[in-house]
Every structure is written in C-alpha cells, then in structure tokens.
Structure 1
Amino acid sequence: MKLKDRVAIIFGGTSGLGEATAKAYADEGAKLVVVGRDKSKGNRIISELQSRNQESIFVEADVSKAAEVQAVVNKTLEKFEQIDILYNGAGIHDAYKTAIELDEDEYEKLMDINVKGPYLASKAVIPHFLKRGKGVIINIGSQSTHVAGAGGSAYVTSKHAIEGFTKQLAYDFGSKGIKANLIAPGFIESPMTEGIEDKRLNDIPAQRAGKPEEIAALAVFLASDDSNYMHGSTVTMDGGWTTGR
C-alpha cells in the first residue's frame, strides 16, 4: 500500500500503459481519476476498480484542450479534495512518417497531445502542489527519447521534447517539493503497437516486447516515497534495445 490515500490523475488512462498504471496505483491504495476520450473504455475500467472497492472516477477530456484539462483538476478536487500524483500518459504515434510524408495537421495533432498535453496538465496541477508543498509528476517518453528510428519525425521530436520538459519541471520545482521524472518505455504490448511487424524485437536483448504491467510497476516506484531522491531522471525500460544503438 505504498500509495495509500493518495490521489492520482491518470491522463491516457483508458488503455495500454495508462490503464495498467491506474490498476497498479489502485492496488497500492491510491484514489484515481482516470482521464481519456473514450467514455465506454473509461466506464469499463472504473466499474472494474469499483468492484474491488477501489475509489475512482472517470472524466472524459481532451488533454490538448486547456479548459477540459482544468475541468479534470476541478472535478478531482471536488471529489477528493487533493491531488498527489499527475501521470501524463496520453500519446499518439505518427506511423514512422518522415518530415516530408507528414501532413502539417498530423504534426500539430501529435504535438498537441504528446507535448502540449503534459504542459497543460502540469500547469493546471502545479499550483495545487505548491500550496501543499509536495507532488509527483510522471511523464511518458519512449525509446524515441534517446534515438531516432523508433518513430517518425513528429513522434521522435515529441519524445525528445518531453524529456527536456521533465528536466525543466524538476529544475524549477524540485526545491518546492515537486518530484518530476520520465519513464522511457521500449516496445510494449499495447494498442499503439498492435499489428506492427517490428524487426526491433530481434534486436532486443530481452528477446520480447515488454508488458504494460512492468511499466506500471516502475510508475508505482516513481510515485512512491521510495524514489524521493530522484528528480529530473529518465528511467529507461526497453529490454536493452537502446544499449546496442
């Protein structure tokens, strides 16, 4: 029960890594606000959590819209009166398109969700963290945080950018009790990777794709007091793929 009575907002919590993290946080005693754009998936997850007597609500929102993000924060405070953990897990891929293949509107949509989203969510939650003198922000990167080739032009750009944003959060607010770190997952079994025939699996020392539950366990560690001396860190969990790059 490392997160007992703590309140976590999980953006991108209706599938994949976000869903696994929401369930792991609940198992550790956290109260949850699961956020996403798919109401049916959100309600399914909440029903599952509530059937285990785990306090949780679903809020439908687009992370790229400031007003909707602020509404999530307001609803969280109305329901639970506090926020302890912000998990920025919403993200989309660009199908490995190059700069000349990618349309401008596709680029803007990806950057809005992958980069602007974590900025808006952090901006909305940090004032509450500052009042309490503590808080946790976990951002989600990728193998593309470190290297090219694990995504297309926009995706790689976004995942490099989110590492810089995480470092700046730690620099600006670490002394005020706010802990910000980045998880850089590798090739993980999730809706984003479903159906992709990726030769990288042959190059991964672990010789397999990762499981969402493995990333969720790392997210529990970063949200808990066990990682309190980690600020601005990027923690890579990719089965060793980037070690050979």
Structure 2
Amino acid sequence: MSLINKKILVTGATSGIGKSLVLKLADLDLELAICGRSRTKMNDLLALPELKGKVSFQDTFDATDFEQVKTFVSKTTERLGQIDVLVNCAGANASRGNVADIPLEDMQNMININLLSPFVFMQEVFNLSMRAKQMGQIINVLSTVSGFSNQGIGAYTASKAGFDALTKVFRKEARDEGVKVSAIYPGGVDTPFREADRPAYLSAESVADAIVFMMSQQGNCALDELTVRPMVEKNYC
C-alpha cells in the first residue's frame, strides 16, 4: 500500500508507541486522526512544532466507553472522508498478580481496554469506511505474551491472547472484503507502560518504525504478523 494521501487513525496516540508512531507519520505528510485518554497529554502532543497542521481530527475519551469510540470513528469518517489505516495502539497492563488472586474487576478492566475496545474500533472502522471501498488495513498492536505463558500477568496475558485470537479470525473474514488485518507483537518496550526504565528494551520508536514498514507494503502483499523483540529478551521459549 502506498502511503501517499492515506488517512490514518491511531488510538493510544498520546504516549508510548502510539505517540512515536504519530510523530513518524507526521513526517510523511499523512492525514491523521488521533485519540487518547489524557487531555493534558494530547495538548502537549499537539503543541509540538512537528505536528503543526498535521492532525485533522483529535479527541480524548475513555476508550472503554464504547459509545464514545463509536462516536469518534463516525466523526473521523465524516472529517477525513474515509479511513485507510487503523492502528490500534491503546492498551494497558494495570493488573499484576497470580491468577488465584486477580480481582474480577481487574480482569474485566483488562478485557475492556485490551480486547473489547480495539474490537469496537475495528468493527466501526471496517463497517463505516473500509468495507464499502473493499480496501484498507487494520494493524493491531498485540504483545509477545500472546504466544507464551508468563506468571504474574494473567489478566494482561488473557486479554491480549483473546485479542490475538480475534485478530486471526477477522483477518480471514476481512480478506474476502479486500481489507488487510495485521498484528505486531512487541516484546519488552521501554515506555511509561512500565514501572521502571528498561533501556535495554526496545524503544517505542523502533516499534513505530516496524508499524510504518507494515503499512508501507504493496497492495497485493499482506504482512499478517510481525514479532519484534529486544536482544536481551529470552523468556519466550
């Protein structure tokens, strides 16, 4: 897919991987719609000189408010005319602990933000924009935890693994409609997502570079899955 004149929606755009991706896409002079949770972070992002005049539409809201998600996608489609690429970056790892000790509320929160919210984004963008054009790409930011079991992060792992399964099913369904559904699986990333700095981990910029690579493929090339890990990571075997 040539990125010339493409219109791209990025969720989770105010920090981490999403923020790095928005800055890289702005350098490519693409038409952007972005959303995040924090109005303060959004204002700080929009104040950056490199984003001046580059964001066509933006809003802040709780991504687990699914009616807000639907409204945002609808307004984005109206403002941009169409959405060529959706990148689902929004997510959280706010619950840690052994499975026997996870509060039900924490598990529900992880499922809401890491599975149901991106599901609603996918469904709305597909039905409102991509299906009629019979083209487009959805890139879901998953995690390497989707492929292995790691003690102490059961809620996060379950929510991401569920989203991974949904992505794989939707990939087969959407391909018949001319829409690519791709997944990127980052390993450890040094972002505010973590409690402590991890300089040996991947930078958010490295993951953003990989996402741009995924969306830059020719129209007849489906890069379904891409895994990126820091060299220090060995806990996936």
Is the TM value for this pair above 0.5? yes
Identity %: 24
For 2:82 and 2:20, the matched residues in 1 are separated by 22
* Aligned 8 A contact 1:64 1:120 in 2: no
- How many pairs are equivalent? 235
1:32 Cα shift?
1.2
1:162 Cα shift?
1.6
Give the AA of the match of 1:93. N
For 2:141 and 2:29, the matched residues in 1 are separated by 22
Q: Which residue of 1 aligns with 2:215?
A: 223
- List runs of 5+ in structure 1 lacking aligned partners: 202-207
1:124 Cα shift?
0.6
Superimposed CA distance per residue, residues 113-151 of structure 1 (whole angstroms, 9 cap, x where no aligned partner): 000011100111101101111111111111201111176
**1:196-211 maps to which residues of 2 (within 5 A)?**
208-211=200-203
Query: For 2:101, what is the secondary structure of its paired residue?
Result: coil
* Aligned 8 A contact 1:133 1:176 in 2: yes
**1:1-245 maps to which residues of 2 (within 5 A)?**
3-48=3-48, 51-127=51-127, 128-149=129-150, 152-195=153-196, 208-226=200-218, 228-230=220-222, 233-240=224-231, 241=233, 245=237
* Aligned 8 A contact 1:94 1:152 in 2: no
Query: For 2:4, what is the secondary structure of its paired residue?
Result: coil
Query: For 1:183, what is the secondary structure of its paired residue?
Result: strand
* Aligned 8 A contact 2:142 2:183 in 1: yes
* Aligned 8 A contact 1:84 1:135 in 2: yes
Give the AA of the match of 1:35. C
Change (3 A) 1:244 1:134: closer
1:65 Cα shift?
2.1
Superimposed CA distance per residue, residues 64-116 of structure 1 (whole angstroms, 9 cap, x where no aligned partner): 22211111112212321111111111111144311122111111011100000
* Aligned 8 A contact 2:96 2:154 in 1: yes
For 2:121 and 2:77, the matched residues in 1 are separated by 14
For 2:219 and 2:152, the matched residues in 1 are separated by 29
* Aligned 8 A contact 2:96 2:153 in 1: yes
1:230 Cα shift?
2.0
Query: For 1:188, what is the secondary structure of its paired residue?
Result: coil
Query: For 1:124, what is the secondary structure of its paired residue?
Result: helix
Change (3 A) 1:172 1:49: farther
1:170 Cα shift?
1.0
